[in-house]
Amino acid sequence: MSIPTEAELQAWVDGRLAPSRRAEVDSYLAVRPDESERLTAYRRQNKELRALFNPVMDESLPSALTRPPRRPLPWMRIAAAISIAVGAGLLGMAAGWSMRGQALATIAAAPDALPHRAAVAHAVYAPEVRHPVEVGADQQKHLVAWLSKRLGTELKPPQLSPLGYELVGGRLLPGDGGPVAQFMYADSTGQRLTLYVSSGQKEMRETGFRFAQEGNVRVFYWIDGSFGYALSGSISKDDLGRIAQTVYDQLTP
Amino acid sequence: MPDARELLLSCLPRLRRYARALTGERSSADDLVQDTMERGWSRLAQWRAGGDMRAWLFGIMHNLYVDQVRRPAPATVELDEATPVQAAPSSTSARLELRDVQTALALLPAEQREVLLLVALEEMSYEEVAATLGIAQGTVMSRLSRGRERLRLLMLGQAVPSPLKVVK
């Protein structure tokens, strides 16, 4: 038997030696009381440290520790917007969490990604000057046929003219469970609203109106069977709610 | 695919235990955990899925702790009415206090304390400790050996090989 190295003696303390070697070290220590006492003291240290500090693991966690930081870095918001627009990679997931964390207070009751995605899509495209939509309202027939085909249902953008909002056009976006149609509306001052229509809602349930807010983007949303609808804008909650009611009435025959 | 957020939160109780043992004091431990979590959240994108989340987070905490030890802020203790006021140890009771493992632990050099705690509390393999602290495994073994021996001597109330500074 080779004389155990100090590293092996340490591994003996921690029970990390292979069984055959452990037996050899056992017999080595059996005839060396001083060495045996030293190593036994080290084992006792392990036990005492665990006894002393293990209770910390059972203490309740301060909520400040379980929340993501309140203000994500600007690049993370951009990353969240981009990644959600192009599909989720790991970077996107991470950034998305932090953004969700920011809005946790308002969305806590609604874990669905629907209002979050709608708000991000709104934040990405509403400020767009040159390409706010893929197909303009001047080609409404084509727009409706195209988006209806992709979402697999007859889709008609609601008429919001009586409320002062005209259809600007629409675009197709990738969503959680399939394609998403985004319709954009604008009033005479250039204030924009977007209606996010997502197919493939897994829950197949119906909800009433719900409200969420991410930053200055307010969202009214509801789920009807496999379709999720979300109206987003930066106008007051009351105004947005009134328009959402009109949208809802027109979409539900 | 495992949820990185869940993984991160699942490490929290362990991080708190380690921080408490490392700093020996509740408020600075909580500050250290808070800083670690903030950095963890903001860098979650850099964590590679499938990597060792625990080693990654403990590595973050190690870096923060090292910065803190290197540039020590004036130590403060939050006092409330429940805080017992400790009498200054007399020369005879000082020796007795060293028998307390927590007191002795605080007298170890930070680098030895870290290795000892990762092995004893976290039950990390020596390889994991080396990866977490970014040091060679041989260094882990020598710090572990010296840390344990120093702790043993402190608890026996004996003089330790390297002299401690005496403040008059």
CATH number of the domain that residue A160 is part of:
3.30.200.100
Q: Which two tokens stand for residue A215?
A: 């930053």
The answer to whether the CB atoms of B16 and A16 lie below 8 A apart is no
The answer to whether the CB atoms of A53 and B41 lie below 8 A apart is no
pLDDT, tens digit, for every residue of A105-154? 333 333 457 888 888 888 888 887 777 888 888 888 888 888 888 888 88
**What pLDDT score does A68 carry?**
67
> How high is the mean pLDDT in each 10-residue block of chain B (168 residues)?
75 93 89 90 78 90 88 52 44 50 90 96 95 95 96 79 50
Identify any residues that bridge with A196 across adjacent strands, giving them in sequence order. Answer: A182, A230
- Percent pLDDT > 90 in chain A is 30
> How many domains is chain B partitioned into structurally?
2
Higher pLDDT, A129 or A22: A22
Is the domain of A129 the same as that of A143?
A: yes
Whether B69 is in a domain gets the answer yes
Dist CA A236 CA A198 (whole Å): 24
HEC readout, A72-111: CCHHHHHHHHHHHHHCCCHHHHHHHHHHHHHCHHHHCCCC
Query: Closest to B42 (Cβ–Cβ): which among A6, A64, A73?
Result: A73
**What pLDDT score does A101 carry?**
41
Domain boundary among B54, B76, B98: B76
Q: Which two tokens stand for residue A174?
A: 């990738």
Is the domain of A48 the same as that of A66?
A: no
Chain B: closest CA distance from residue A197 (Å): 27
Domain of residue B42 covers: 1-76
Domain boundary among B76, B97, B116: B76
Is the domain of A81 the same as that of A186?
A: no
Question: Going by DSSP bridges, is the β-strand pair A217-225/A227-233 parallel, antiparallel, or unpaired?
Answer: antiparallel
The answer to whether the CB atoms of B120 and A76 lie below 8 A apart is no
Is the domain of A18 the same as that of A119?
A: no
The answer to whether the CB atoms of A90 and B41 lie below 8 A apart is no
Whether A120 is in a domain gets the answer yes
**What pLDDT score does B60 carry?**
94
Query: Closest to A97 (Cβ–Cβ): which among B5, B14, B120?
Result: B5
**What pLDDT score does A177 carry?**
72
Dist CA B135 CA A74 (whole Å): 34
Lowest mean pLDDT among A110-119, A206-215, A218-227, B67-76: B67-76
Is the domain of A76 the same as that of A171?
A: no
**What pLDDT score does A185 carry?**
94
Query: Closest to A61 (Cβ–Cβ): which among B12, B151, B152?
Result: B12
Is the domain of A87 the same as that of A175?
A: no
**What pLDDT score does B124 carry?**
95
**What pLDDT score does A199 carry?**
81
Higher pLDDT, A168 or B73: A168
The answer to whether the CB atoms of B34 and A64 lie below 8 A apart is yes
Going by pLDDT thresholds of 50, 70 and 90, the confidence category of residue A62 is: confident
Is the domain of B116 the same as that of B154?
A: yes
Chain B: closest CA distance from residue A52 (Å): 8
> What is the pLDDT of chain A when averaged over all its residues?
79
Residue of chain B whose Cα is closest to the Cα of A53: B17
Average pLDDT (A216-237) is: 87
Q: Which two tokens stand for residue A135?
A: 């197909």
Whether A184 is in a domain gets the answer yes
**What pLDDT score does A95 carry?**
44
Whether B83 is in a domain gets the answer no
pLDDT, tens digit, for every residue of A85-113? 444 344 434 444 444 444 333 333 334 57
DSSP state string for chain B: ---HHHHHHHTHHHHHHHHHHHHSSHHHHHHHHHHHHHHHHHTGGGSPTTS-HHHHHHHHHHHHHHHHHHSPPPP-----TTSPPPPPPPHHHHHHHTTSHHHHHHTS-HHHHHHHHHHHTS---HHHHHHHHT--HHHHHHHHHHHHHHHHHHHHTPPPSSPPP---
Interface residues from chain B to A (CB-CB < 8 Å): 4-5, 9, 12-14, 16-17, 20-21, 30, 33-34, 37-38, 41-42, 44-45, 47, 49, 101-102, 105, 116-117, 119-121, 123, 125-126, 138, 141, 144-145, 148-149, 151-152, 155
CATH number for position B107: 1.10.10.10
The answer to whether the CB atoms of A90 and B141 lie below 8 A apart is no
Query: Closest to A94 (Cβ–Cβ): which among B44, B144, B152?
Result: B44
Residue of chain B whose Cα is closest to the Cα of A56: B17
Domain boundary among B76, B99, B128: B76
Q: What's CA A232's distance to the chain center, in Å? A: 18
Whether B133 is in a domain gets the answer yes
Is the domain of A152 the same as that of A213?
A: yes
**What pLDDT score does A16 carry?**
95
**What pLDDT score does B1 carry?**
44
Whether A21 is in a domain gets the answer yes
Domain of residue A69 covers: 60-102
CATH number for position B67: 1.10.1740.10
The pTM score is 0.51
Chain A: closest CA distance from residue B168 (Å): 31
Average pLDDT (A217-226) is: 84
Is the domain of A98 the same as that of A140?
A: no
Is the domain of A90 the same as that of A133?
A: no
Whether B84 is in a domain gets the answer no
